[in-house]
Structures are given as C-alpha cells and as structure tokens.
Chain A
Amino acid sequence: MKYRDLIENALNGHGADYCEVRIEETDNTRLSYRGKSLDTIAQTSGLGGNVRAATKGGWGFASFNSLDELSSKVADAVAQSKAVGGSKTELGESEAHVDVVPAYIVEDPSEISLEDKKRQMDHYNDLVWSVDGINSADIIYGDTSRKTFFGSSDGSYIEQEQVHVISRISAQARNGGDVQQAGFSLGSQGDYGLIRGLDEQVIDAANRAVALLDAKSLEGGERTVILDPVLAGVFVHEAFGHLSEGDNVYENDKLKEIMYMGRKFGGNHLNFTDGAAIPALRGSFKYDDEGTPATRTALVRDGELVGRLHSRETAAKLGEQPTGNARAIGYNFPPIVRMTNTIIEPGEATLEDLLAGVDDGVYVRNWYGGMTQHEMFTFSSGEAYMIRNGEIQEAVRPVMLTGNLFETLENLDGVGNDLDMNQGGGCGKGGQSPLPVSNGSPHIRIQKCLISGA
C-alpha cells in the first residue's frame, strides 16, 4: 500500500470534522490524425494530489503536484474549511474500507507496442482516404491508466486502478463551402481489443460523409422520432440523468418540490437505472472518489421517480443513502455527483413495432453531442433517416433534438427490447470533462419532439 503511511501521517491531528487525501498517478498515450497524416503522437505522465476537508458544513480544498509537506497542505485545506463553515457537517454513512482494487483488464493497452497502435490507426486513416470524395480524416486514439490512492479520516485507505481506451474516427467530405462529416466513437474499460476489426464501420462512416453532401436538410419543427440505442442512451443521460444528480436538488427547495419521490414522469414502460456496480462498462468502479462502494440505483420505475444519485453530503442533506456517485475527473478537482452507467431498461417492442404507424417521422442514430440545463436539454444525432409509412427511408442531414424533461418523457411512448450500450462518450459538469461514463437503451420512440433545421 504505496501511500498509506504518507496519507495517514498527514491526516494525523487534522482538526476538521472530516478530511481526506487523494493521490493520483496517470499515464497516457495519444495518437491523432488530421488531414491526411498523423498530427500528434504523445505520451504523458502525471502525479498529483489533493486534500479536502469539511468543518461545520464548509469545505476546503487544496490540490498540488508535489507531495512534499503533505501535512501543511492538510493544514491549509482545514483552515479554508474553517473559514467557510458556519453550520454543521453532514455526511452520509460510509463504512471504512481498506482495499486494493486492480484494473479491470481484458487486453491491456500498455502491453501493445506504440508501433502496433500506430500501425492499426494508420490502417484506419488509409481506409477513410480510400473512399472517393473524402477531404479530411479526424482520428483519435487514446489510452489512460489512472491509479488513485485515497485515505480519509474515517479510516479508509483504497487504492484503485482504471485503464480506459477510447477512439473516435471521423471522415469529412467537402463540396465548396459545404463541409460534412460522419464518424463514430468507441470506448472500453481495459480492452484494447475494441480498436480491432473496425474496417467495415470506418468505410461506412466515410461513405456516409460523402453521401451527406447530397442529402437534404430537414425543416425544423415537431416530429415523431425513433432513437437508436446509442442516441437513446445519450437522451436518458441528458434528459433525465443530470436532473437526478442530488447536488442539483439538495439545497434547492423549489427543485425538491418538483423532483419528489413518487412523481410520475410518464408511462409504466419508463424504467431508468444508473450504477457503477454494473460491471465492465466505462462508468464502472468498485469505490467512488469518496470511498463509497458502487451501487446500482433505480431512478425511475414504472414511470415514477424512485431514486437519485448522491455523494455523502447530498445523501445526508436529503435524508437518503449515499449511492457511490461522487466522482472527480482528476486530482485537481473535488468529487461531485456524477452519473456512471445510465440505462433505459428494455421493454417489449421490436423496432418494427415502433416504426408501425409512423407516417412522417425521423429515425435518428448515433450521437454527436448533448447538453443539459436543468429541465432543458439538447442532443445531436450522427445520422438521420426519413420514416414514411412505417419504413426507414433515405438519409437526411443529421439533426439536433431538444426538449424539456416534463413534456418529453410524457411523449416517450415506445420502448424497444434491444438494449445496447454506448461506451464512446464522456460527460462534462462543473469544468470536469470528459469523465468516463456509459449509457444505454433499447430503441425508443418520442412523439412531438422538436428538431432543428440544419
């Protein structure tokens, strides 16, 4: 246990209600391609840490790269917390844990040579360029190892390692001032293997980019939309997940009135879950960054709000249980309430069932991005196709969809049976981005969804 003595000594006699130290070691490899050739190849490493202290409900936080004089950094953070505190420190129950958690590994990227990684990505770059009409490729590969060493005044000491692999492959086609792009994102925890065998997907993306130059733009307005599992995963993350984060609610009486347990958001077919205890996904871990064990939290059951996501503080202040959702993106940030793996639980409908009866709708697939501000959200598709007479027809240019929580969930009238996970995304909140998360869903159908013109 590498830093146990260092952390325990530094915390000795800290003088706050609660104090914790988190030290982090990271190693990253990154390759990127822009235009026709390799743009960057880089390896970086990091060491850093932080102290977080709570006194009378106030928080102090100090982050640093040098571990020298850790005791005086503890003293700094404690003094800051005392300058803030004026009420009472409330933290949800968490047993002390002492544990060493190795990385979840299927195929370790650190055992693949840089030469092999580059050869693989060169190959995909060549494939993009093999398609007629391609103007530029935008390709990223990255792998990261993050080791955290956490110790708290509650007596926990936890070492955890996580290894992540991500890639985004995007192709651009251009006709004069019209630049169109198509691509896809992938990610895994501990598995370099996902980078292999993508030839078909790469060529398909390049072909789609070229075809988009001739595709029509839709006019903005309300339509029936069917979302594929990838985009529906982004939808549940943006449209519901963020508002179920306890830190939005715990000091906000008006929002508490709106987001009360038992509130009905839609039909009985709505069942949403979040949890890092769902194994082997990008948002999976054993303990969160406050040392709370991961759980699996039911957020919505049969259309009713039944749970939300918590840190120790938000749980205590709302009289609920910590859920293990306090996460920090790195040593220079305090943990805040975040999603992990967020899912719309599957129903019974097939895609054909969802399509049946849709005379003039849009089938949207794949994601480009998404944002939330309380009840408002937007997210963008990577692909869009017209639906007429219950059939998926020609491609149109990708669209942006928008809505607000209270109406859109009411209008979500179909949930498919084909759950699939989107592992290629990252989440941003409070300046902490991109945090590894996954989300997933079966196909879903939303009536009267507002989409943008292109």
Chain B
Amino acid sequence: MSESLLNAASSKFDQAEVYRVESESHPVSFESNKLKEIMRRDTSGVALRVIDDGRIGFTSTTDTERESELVERAASLAPFGSEASFSFPAPSEYPTVDIVDAAVPQVSQQSMIDTGQGLIERLMDEWPDLLCDARIGWGTGRGRIMNSAGIDEVYEQTSYYCSLGAQLIRGTDMLNVWAGYGSSHLFGDEELDRLLQTVRRSLRWSKETAIATANTGDLPVIFTPRGVGATLLHPLLSGFSGTNVSNGSSPLGERWGEKIVDERISIYDDPLIPGASGSRPFDDEGVASRMLALIDKGVAGSPLLDLQTAGQLGKTSTGAAGRGLASTPSPSSSVIDIAAGDTHFEDMIAGIKEGLVIEELLGAGQGNELGGDFRANVSLGYKIENGEIVGRVKDTMISGNVYNVLSQVEHVGDSSDWVFGSMRSPAIQCLGVEVAAKDE
C-alpha cells in the first residue's frame, strides 16, 4: 500500500514522501491502591507530504479506506502550502541504535499486575495512609519512511514503562508525589527500587511544612534532576528550536559559538544512547541520527534543525525532525543528556544556610518561555535551613530566566540521573531565582 501511494504521488508531484506508523501498547493501571483497568491500544495510519512547484502539501489518515483520497487531497493543498526550502533526502548510512528488546513483547499481563501490586504494597508498608496510583505497560512501534529520492527505511522499537504516584492528605493539605521510568529495554528490581526510593524520599522530605522566604534572587536554589527538567529544560530548548531560530524568536539570535551560560554546563541531544526513550537510528524525515552539542562547556553549539528549518537557515538538518501522524515534522529534541559535575548532592544541601530544593512545578510553560523565562507554583519543593531539609514549601512561586540562572551556577551534581527515561541530568545549584511566597 505504501509503495502504491508513493508511486501515485511521485508521478503527480515533483517530490513525495510517505510516512507510515503502526504501534500497540498494553498498559495496566492501578487507582487508589487497586487494579482498575487493563488496556490495549492499536494505532495505525499514513501521512503523505508532497512538494509541488516549490510548495508543500500535507495530509494524513487513519482510515485505510480513505488512503486513496490522499493524493487528490495533497494536490488541492499544495498550491496554498508553505514554500519548501528543501528536497527530500536520498538514502544514507544510518547508525545502529539499540532500541529493541525481544523480551518486552513477552511480558505477561500477570507480571505487570504483580509489579504494580508489589510497588504499592512496599510503599504502603511504610506509609499506610497513602492512596497510590501505578501504571505499567509495554509497547511496540514500527515506523516506515519512503520518499521519491529513494529512501525506504523501517525501524522498530520496543518500550516498557512504569510510573508510581502517591497521595497523602492531612486536613486540607494535600501532597502528591510520583516517579516514573521508561526504556526500550525490559527493566527489573534495580530500576523499580530507584522509583520507590524517589517516592519515599519525597514523602520523607515533605513530612513537615516549611515557609519559604520571599527573596530577589540571592538565595541558592538546588534543582534536582527532575527539577531541571521541570523548570529549565523547556525555556532553554525553545531557544534551540530550529523553528524559533529561523523565524527570529530565539534569544540566541546570532550567539552561536558564544559563551551563553556557566562553563560547567554542557547539554547534548543524543538519540544514540542505548535503551533510552527517544533514541532512534534516523529522524522522522529519514535523516541519520547523531549526537548534537546544544551547549558545550557553556558555549552555544547548534540549534535543532529539521529539513525545512535547516533550509531556511542555509544549513543542513541535524536529524531532529519529530512528528505525529497528523502533523508535519518540526525540530524537537530526542534524548537530553546534561553532563555531571563534581559535587555530591548531600554536600550541596549541607553547604546551604538557607535555600530551596525544587523538584516539581505546577503551571510551568505559561510564562514567556520564548525569552527563556520560567515561572510557576512549586508543587513539590523543600526548604533548606542550616544545611538540612526542614520540610515542604507550599504557596510558593519561583521565577527567573534560564540564561541568567545558568550563568550563576554554584555547583553541578556529580551524578546524572535518568528522568522518565528520556532525559539525564545532574542536580544543579544556582542563584538568580526569584521566590514569591505568601505572607505568614
């Protein structure tokens, strides 16, 4: 079917590309400490993108009966389409990336149920008042990309994931903590123990409630690895998005090759890491994957580019195209890897007289991310006093600018931890975060 669609489109348009996906996933969910639902989700569909007279036409369907309409639909769209600044790529060499584990589709429903049950029971042993949710699942995906320049490539991947959440209510005070991990490889006790430890640590640190002190940026703030993901990553990546760079909205403008943050900060987009969620041999336009330095020792490396934004900027694609079935490709990150430094997490805390630890935020992304700004309610964060965590802060907001904050780095943690399997980061201690808190 894909062949005939590509042939029909290639004979009608200057260039054509067919993108077909098939996936299935099998999640098992627990709600309020009990097994609640077992699901199976199958997805399949096809997208057609064409270039005709220099303009792009795009259409897709999940209805096999209507695949025959796609060529006509593309023909009606292309005359109004955006100008193509690229040609579909020819075949090239692709790296081998370890993203399939044959054991994943063999996972039994019962073993997922047992895993969830076990995690919840172990948490409840220590904290009997908790209400826990958990989700365990596996999936397989298959993507095929073909174009009129000769590419016809398929890749398959497997995925296995587990998340665990817990709610504790005391009076009208509600605490929600959770942790999750995903990989293309089946994982076992070691990773599950780490999830439990994360949740337990959050519960322990939240035992008491502390009051944050409002300040104007001179208190040290430690972002845990997930705090880095929740606070700093999105406003930072928006500056590296090829789309924003090409239309002039990135604050990095012409600063490529210049020092933009502290030299201890190095951030890579690396789709070649074995087993990571987001690793892949080629991107969603068939361009070979590669590791890309976004920031190397504080210096701005390269934006993330797909074919279109690369063409607009007169560069070549960095293999960063991501897409869903119903949308045209756009540049996005794959697996974010932030280099570790040399300070133990415990030593960071011990060295702070008064400060905050940020783990999770509520409402991040509502601010002016394009300029690198962040601001949000601290949904999970802790107060440090005299080198110790004294309790959870609530009714507290933080704000700042990612370039400013990462230029005032005090310490970088000595280990990089996986956050949900698609990002690896150390804890980072900085200045420059403004804290607003309710009056006592």
Contacts and interface: CB of A to CB of B under 8 A. Distances in A.
B172 interface: yes
A48 B44 CA distance: 10
B440 to A, nearest CB: 11
B169 A258 contact: yes
A255 B365 CA distance: 29
Contact of B59 (A43, A178, A448): A43
B251 A179 contact: yes
A379 B249 contact: no
B316 interface: no
Given A114-B80, A135-B249, A450-B438, A46 B367 contact: no
A177 B372 contact: yes
Given A28-B326, A332-B41, A222 B438 contact: yes
A84 B38 contact: yes
Contacts of A36: 247
B62 A46 contact: yes
B367 A172 contact: no
Interface in A173-212: 174, 176-181
A210 B362 CA distance: 29
Interface in A242-282: 251-252, 254-255, 258
Given A180-B368, A402-B363, A452 B375 contact: yes
A220 B214 contact: yes
Interface string B31-53: 11011111111111100000000
Contacts of A221: 214, 436, 439
Contacts of B372: 177
A179 B174 contact: no
Contacts of B60: 42, 44-45
Most chain B Cβ neighbours within 10 Å, of A251, A255, A452? A452
A63 B41 contact: yes
A309 interface: no
A153 interface: no
B77 interface: yes
A371 interface: yes
B82 interface: yes
B63 interface: yes
B399 A220 contact: yes
Interface stretch (A9-17, A53-61, A89-97): A53-61
A65 B40 contact: no
B399 A453 contact: yes
B106 interface: no
B83 interface: yes
B131 interface: yes
Interface string B214-247: 1010000000000000000000000000010011
B39 A61 contact: yes
B362 A58 contact: no
A402 B376 CA distance: 8
B367 A380 contact: yes
A35 B85 CA distance: 15
Given A66-B44, A83-B109, A220-B214, A378 B62 contact: no
Contact of B37 (A61, A176, A332, A450): A61
Given A220-B434, A332-B43, A58 B36 contact: yes
Given A41-B58, A400-B376, A80 B38 contact: yes
A373 B403 contact: no
A35 B372 CA distance: 18
Contacts of A4: none
Interface in B307-359: 325-328
B68 to A, nearest CB: 12
A174 B248 contact: yes
Interface string A43-78: 111111000000000111111111000000000110
Given A39-B243, A179-B370, A452-B397, 7 more contacts: A35-B249, A63-B41, A63-B43, A84-B38, A179-B251, A375-B172, A402-B397
Interface of A: 25, 28, 34-48, 58-66, 76-77, 80-81, 83-84, 86, 114-115, 118, 135-136, 172, 174, 176-181, 219-222, 251-252, 254-255, 258, 332, 334, 368-380, 398, 400, 402-404, 406, 448, 450-454
22 contacts: A28-B326, A43-B73, A43-B76, A46-B63, A58-B37, A58-B38, A59-B37, A60-B37, A60-B38, A61-B38, A62-B40, A177-B372, A180-B368, A219-B216, A221-B214, A254-B131, A332-B43, A373-B174, A373-B176, A378-B397, A450-B436, A452-B376
